[in-house]
A = this chain, B = another copy of it.
Amino acid sequence: MRCDVVSVGTELLLGQIVDTNTVFIGEQLAAHGIASRLQVKVGDNVERIEAVFRQLLVDADALIVCGGLGPTHDDVTREAIAAVMGVELKLDEAIADVIRDLFAQLRRPMADNNMRQAMVPVGAEVIPQRRGTAPGLICPFQLDGDARVIYAIPGVPDEMEEMLERAVLPDLLARAGEPSVIASRVLKVWGESESGLNARLDDVIARLDDDGDVTLAFLARGWNGLEIRLTTSADSAFAAHERLRPWEEEIRAILGGVVFGADGDSMESVVLDALRRRGWTLGLAESLTAGLVAARLAGVPGASDVLRGGLVTYASDVKFELLGVTPGPVISEEAALEMAEGACRVFGADVGLALTGVAGPDRQDDVPVGTVCLAVVGHGAERATTLRLRQSASREQIRQLSVINALDLVRRFLR
């Protein structure tokens, strides 16, 4: 089974929008073992879209098409599909009713062109819309004697992702002769490289390959660490999850503490949860990261019950005056420790986290660029931990690496 992908929209060709839809779709197809050989961006031109469909369908069994399903005259994906199928478009009364209801609810007059969204190629199956007004389409047909299928889904990422998972992938797997309930489990990792994970999971990966039922993929998520994604399909959700569970347990046992979470977890949500469970609050003192740690924690809704506040001490004398750091060089584990204690004191927090270092471009206090000192002080200062890092990277990378390493230090401190 080969499934290629087409993104429709002149704005994509003009570079006005980044096409992240095919990234998501490509990932999902790979996770389910379906080959995708070509992914094409094409403008809102019905002849050109039709030509792309025909070219790709010479070798591809299926196409997923994103975008061009809106109500305006330049949304022509429906017309191009009907042309390749060699059928007419007809009004689907059920979709028409949904669209009329939506406008009635919004108390807005409905322009006639909205009914374009209810036009469906004869022989297509409708994927009902849950968000937005654009329904999706499953369009199976014969092309020169071969079975082909085109899936049309909206270009809006939220709507696209939801429809892909709910309707497109199950249908595609069924046509490929695969069981159609899909389940994934994602483990989040920090503190190990992709090649390091590969080496440590060598034996597991070999057995997964032999087994063939569960796929494993590594996905780099930048400042959110690495993901290990286990995916399988089965006849029921229960059976799929049961198939994933022993593999997850084995991987966790091998990797130990570098696995910081699963599925929807982030490093910041894990740190906040660990503090919240103990009823502890957090105070921050940041130098080179200048607020990035605070901002990342505060990005989690509900962070305010844990995060008391933070001090961005960009100038050295601010560290001395406000945090009580001993005057002198400020890039050391000792200075970081004093900063963390100062953060506890200033904010009346149970745990203090501090970061000091040199992001560059120039050395500071004769300390080379990329040197970062981290400290965590716990609950009354009877416990503390520090870490000195040397990172060879750009200014922005040094700052972002410091953030996630600091959060990870808190996580490990709390275990």
Query: Is B310 a contact of A315 with CB atoms below 8 Å?
Result: no
Contact across chains for B347 and A318 when beta carbons are under 8 A apart = yes
Chain A 12-28 interface 0/1 with B at a Cβ cutoff of 8 Å (1 = within)? 11111111101111111
Q: Is A208 an interface residue (CB 8 A)?
A: no
- CB-CB nearest in chain B for A41: B39
Asked whether any CB of chain B lies closer than 8 Å to the CB of A253, the reply is no
The segment out of A77-85, A102-110, A197-205, A283-291 that lies at the interface is: A283-291
A39 and B37 contact, Cβ closer than 8 Å, known pairs A55-B55, A312-B310: no
B314 touches A294 (CB 8 A): yes
A295 proximal to B (CB < 8 A): yes
Interface centre among A13, A17, A37, A304 (most CB of B within 10 A): A13
Tell me which of B19, B37, B295 contacts A43 (CB under 8 A): B37
Instruction: Give the distance in Å from the alpha carbon of A41 to the alpha carbon of B22 in the complex.
Output: 10
Q: How many copies does the complex hold?
A: 2
Which residues of B sit under 8 angstroms from A25, Cβ to Cβ? Answer: 15
Q: Once the chains are docked, how many angstroms separate the CA of A305 from the CA of B65? A: 52
* Residues of the B chain whose Cβ atoms lie less than 8 Å from the Cβ of A220: 16
Contact A315 B322 (CB under 8 A): no
A396 & B16 in contact (Cβ 8 Å cutoff): no
Check A48 for interface membership: any CB of B closer than 8 A. Answer: yes
Contact at B15–A30, with CB atoms within 8 Å? yes
- Would A298 and B294 be within 8 Å (CB), given that A14-B27, A16-B219, A48-B37 are in contact? no
A23 to B399, CA, bound (A): 27
With an 8 A cutoff between CB atoms, is A123 at the interface? no
**Which A residues from 1 to 47 make CB contacts under 8 A with B?**
12-20, 22-28, 30, 36-43, 45
Cβ < 8 Å to B, chain A residues 299-322: 299, 301, 303-304, 307-315, 318, 322
**Residues of A contacting B: mostly:** mixed
* A219 nearest CB across to chain B (Å): 7
Tell me the smallest distance from the CB of A365 to a CB of chain B, in Å.
13
Q: Does A395 contact B (CB under 8 A)?
A: yes
Cα of A184 to Cα of B17 in the assembled complex, Å: 20
Which among B14, B286, B298, B307 is the interface contact of A30 at CB below 8 angstroms? B14
Known interface pairs A301-B361, A309-B322; 20 further A-B residue pairs with C-beta atoms within 8 A, sorted by A's residue number? A12-B39, A13-B30, A13-B37, A15-B24, A15-B26, A15-B30, A18-B18, A38-B41, A38-B42, A39-B40, A55-B55, A284-B312, A290-B310, A291-B291, A295-B399, A307-B314, A309-B315, A310-B311, A311-B312, A322-B346
A-B contact pairs, 25 of them (CB 8 A): A12-B39, A13-B26, A14-B27, A14-B30, A15-B22, A15-B30, A18-B18, A37-B42, A37-B43, A37-B45, A38-B41, A38-B48, A39-B41, A55-B55, A284-B312, A288-B298, A289-B295, A290-B297, A291-B292, A298-B312, A298-B314, A308-B318, A309-B311, A310-B312, A318-B347
